[in-house]
Amino acid sequence: MKTELKFKADQMLELYKTIEKDFMWEHNLTKHFVALLYTEHDKRYNKETFKNTLDMINKETGIFSNFRSSNRFMLAGLMHMESDSTDGVFHQIRSCESTLKENGFKSGMYLPLASYALYKTSKEQAPSQLAQKAQHIYQQMKKNHPFLTSGDDYSMSVLLAASEVDLGRIEEAYEKLNIKGFYKGNELQRLSHILALSNRSIDELVEICFNMKWQLKEAKLNIPTTYYATLGIIALIYFEDETIVSEWIELTKYLSTLKKFKWLGKGMNVMLASSLVSSQWIDETLKSEATKLTISISIDALIAAQTAAIIAATTAASAGAAASASS
């Protein structure tokens, strides 16, 4: 494993400990996400500045707003990657939320992150135009998979709209991944969305995902279906640098030895490592700042959406268990 990656992992651990102490009542996964962001973007964390952003979100939104709860903490982190003065950024994200609603997207816990994705990707075209394309893509998703497609696909529809992808590639990836042994479901749909962002052939992408899944299993890092999307993040880079897979696996193993990461489970550590390895590769390899920005936006938005989905799933499971226990 590269020395730089080990340094980043250690840096992320120390930052997580600080954030955990500063905001002890926030959801642990959102704190890990924010620590990851600050580490990847090499930003200096300041408790008071961050708290001011959280207070600003509370002040600007109602008590039942979807911008609160876990979204609030993650969005604060994402906004601080833009600027320490986050008021203007937040107002633009709220404007993007209105644009998405005007184009048929419904309120819900996933709309704030989709609004962030629209804010970040609408530099080259009008937000309303991009939102319209995103809604078209979302409706196509729903037509193809009516029981799988829901609010947690909002962010992905925006990213796909910004990338001008061929929607046929999504279905091709979904079916071919299933033939290779990937279980059908929402997680496989998300992986097929990510692979569609690449300009490589679907056959190549499916083959590398299958091989990576096997390599993870051989390394005793077999991941549940929840983390299929992580394979897509690495696949976007693999064809530029095949060594990224071994770096990814080594970093995941290292994270699993650290006290604050051990309890997260293999899947979360695989996901965190995929983001760190990808961002390191982007910084070291890509010359074009525009290309760097495009890929970084996609990875940040994907990890945010994945974290939100995991939090929602664990919350629902906990509520279900509590209901069963009381009945």
The per-residue pLDDT for 299 is 81
Answer yes or no: are the C-beta atoms of 61 and 107 closer than 8 Å.
no
User: What pLDDT shows up at residue 324?
Assistant: 46
Per-residue pLDDT of the chain (327 residues; tens, 9 = 90+): 788 999 999 999 999 999 999 999 999 999 999 999 999 999 999 999 999 999 999 999 999 999 987 889 999 999 999 888 899 999 999 999 999 999 999 999 999 999 999 999 888 789 999 999 999 999 999 999 999 999 999 999 999 999 888 899 999 999 999 999 999 999 999 999 999 988 899 999 999 999 999 999 999 999 999 999 999 999 988 888 888 999 999 999 999 999 899 888 899 999 999 999 998 888 877 654 545 555 666 788 888 888 888 887 766 544 444 444 445
- Tens of pLDDT, residue by residue over 187-208, are 999 999 999 988 899 999 999 9
Q: Where do the domains of the chain lie?
A: 3-313
Q: Which residues contact 189 (CB under 8 A, 6 or more apart)?
A: 141, 145, 148, 149, 153, 174
pLDDT at 147: 93
Nearest-angstrom CA–CA distance, 219 and 221: 5
The torsion region of residue 164 among left (phi > 0), alpha (psi -120 to 50) and beta comes to: left
What does the pLDDT read at residue 314?
67
pLDDT at 293: 53
Residues in the chain: 327
Can you tell me the distance from the alpha carbon of 256 to that of 260, in angstroms, rounded to the nearest whole number? 9
pLDDT at residue 285 in the model: 74
Q: Which structure tokens are listed for 240? A: 């530029």
* End-to-end Cα, the chain, rounded Å: 51
* pLDDT for residue 295: 66
pLDDT at 294: 58
d(CA 262, CA 111): 31
Tell me what pLDDT residue 296 has: 66
Say how many C-beta atoms besides its own lie within 10 A of residue 157's C-beta.
27
Could you read off the pLDDT of 207-262 as tens digits, one per residue? 999 999 999 999 999 999 999 999 999 998 888 888 899 999 999 999 999 989 98
Distance CA 157, CA 141 (A): 9
